[in-house]
Homo-oligomer: A and B are copies of this chain.
Amino acid sequence: MAIKVIDVNVGVFDENNEIADEVRAYNKDKGTLMINIMASPGAGKTTTLLRTIDALKEEFSIGVMEADIEASVDAEKMAEAGVRSIQVHTGGECAMDASMVHQALQEFDTDGIDLLFMENVGNLVCTAEQDTGADYNVEILSVPEGDDKPLKYPLMFSVCQCVLINKIDTRNWFAFDDAAVTERIHRLNPDADVIFLSGKTGEGFDQWIEWLRAKLR
């Protein structure tokens, strides 16, 4: 499957919220639910997405917008998996904003797509500052990163509707306190759903897939 790659320009920050609303209206009109996936580099965004797509692809038509500074390795993986995807190069920018998403949507024909994942740039700071126009924000925190991350990157954990605690198959090898991380997330964001899973083994995926299905109803 050929990969479409586009270079986008950064938008004017002040106009961002307005463009984000336009993106949501555009997606709503197309019947597309857009999920913005954010995480540190190496938290397992791509692996988790691939397994998620595999679980839902028979029920829904799925697309992926891959955002990276300049690489295209993730879109290549999506294409290999047979997923309709577009690679966005942010040209050095550390996060997608609504204007970038807007530009990408013009290039990426989303007709007939029920569920559009955006895999944002690996970053816990800049990505949290931008309304991308997504319907939901999901943050992936992996066990090896440690349970103190909500203390250090509070904005990220405040803007998400769902936090996936990933790589729980490695929990025996890292000091990671499930109860402490959940409490730290809920102190910032009482309504956030916290789901423990492993993109590698599939453990915990039922709950995550059910979370997505509920949003798609």
Contact = CB atoms under 8 A, between A and B. Distances in A.
B42 A142 contact: yes
Contacts of A170: 144, 170, 173-174
A149 B41 contact: yes
State the copy count for this chain. 2
B71 A152 contact: yes
Interface string A52-83: 00000000000000001111010000000000
B42 A149 contact: yes
Contacts of A125: 69, 92, 94, 121-123, 126
A145 B41 contact: yes
A216 interface: no
A180 interface: no
A148 interface: yes
Interface string A117-155: 000011111100100000000000010111011011111
A102 interface: no
Contact of A42 (B123, B129, B145): B145
Contacts of A167: 144
A129 B125 CA distance: 15
A155 B94 CA distance: 12
The 9 closest A-B pairs by CB, nearest first: A42-B145, A144-B144, A94-B125, A40-B41, A71-B152, A40-B40, A42-B146, A71-B151, A41-B124
25 contacts: A40-B42, A40-B122, A41-B124, A41-B145, A42-B142, A42-B144, A43-B145, A68-B152, A69-B125, A71-B151, A73-B148, A73-B152, A92-B155, A94-B94, A94-B126, A122-B124, A122-B125, A122-B153, A123-B123, A123-B125, A125-B126, A126-B126, A144-B144, A144-B145, A173-B173
Given A41-B149, A94-B125, A122-B124, 7 more contacts: A69-B153, A92-B125, A92-B155, A94-B123, A123-B125, A123-B126, A144-B145
Interface of A: 40-43, 68-71, 73, 92, 94, 121-126, 129, 142, 144-146, 148-149, 151-155, 167, 170, 173-174
